[in-house]
Amino acid sequence: MTKKVFFLVFVVFNTSLCSQQELRTIFGDVYYEPDRYKTQYDATDSTPYLNVDFTPAKINDINETKMVRFNAFDESVEVMVNAKKVVILQDSQAYTIKLLDGSKKVYETKKYGDEEDKVKTSFFELIARNTKYALFLKEKKKYVKAKKAQGYEASKPAMFKKRKDTYYITDFKERSELVIKIPSKVKTFVSFFPSHAKQVKMFIKKYKLKIDEGEDLIKIFDFYFDSI
């Protein structure tokens, strides 16, 4: 009986150790507490995450299901090691993350140029992919510091606020590894297609399409690649 108990304890310990070793080897070895953001930012009524709770997901070709969540402020992906530890996916390799919560959402890590033209790596939700382009949605949050009461204006606590969603597309012109931000104004957007700007603009106007909606963007790019 004692031998059986010892064997079971050994198996459980060894399995847990192997699992943590796998995370350490593949995803890095810097661990954080899941609730670190609460003391780091003091925003008790909001979070930097798209999903506060960890969601089951498949990462790349790893067989074991992992629990993940997306930090839309730091632009990072956290993987749960245990109830008290998370590890952040490193930029050293690309990741494809398929959520297993029934949403069928797929996220990919990609390089892009930020507002200061610095190359960064972040996660993007895959909206559409075919042989000619891939379209991605970028969701971000900003941190707003607390404000003290002034005059008739009440004090405001620190909080995370959702930024306006933006869309990105694979670089179908220069074929670089960076994804390109899609402009929010039609005039700038049609400059994506210098030789066919007029046709694209007419197509947008005819069907009353919006360039800040994923389904409409798919129609526009399909028109450009398949019909022009």
| 168-182 residue pLDDT tens | 999 887 778 999 999
Whether the predicted pLDDT of 116 surpasses 60: yes
Alpha helices in 159-213 (DSSP H): 186-189, 197-206
Strand partners, 98: 58, 106
pLDDT of residue 210: 97
pLDDT of residue 107: 99
Listed residue (170, 106, 182) closest to 133, CA to CA: 170
Q: How confident is the model at residue 155 (pLDDT cuts 50, 70, 90)?
A: confident
Helix (H, G, I), strand (E, B) or coil at 132: coil
DSSP assignment of 51-116, as one string? -SS-EEEEETT-SS-EEEEEETTTTEEEEEEETTEEEEPPTTS--EEEE-SSS--EEEEEEEE-TT
User: Are 224 and 200 in contact, with CB atoms under 8 Å apart?
Assistant: yes
Q: How confident is the model at residue 204 (pLDDT cuts 50, 70, 90)?
A: very high
User: Are 71 and 81 in contact, with CB atoms under 8 Å apart?
Assistant: no
Query: Which pTM was predicted?
Result: 0.86
Between helix 214-227 and helix 197-206 the angle, nearest 10°, is: 130
- Give the tens place of pLDDT for each residue, 29-82: 678 899 988 888 888 889 999 999 999 999 999 999 999 999 999 999 999 999
Length of the chain: 228
Q: What are phi and psi of 154, to 5 degrees?
A: -75, 160
User: Are 121 and 109 in contact, with CB atoms under 8 Å apart?
Assistant: yes
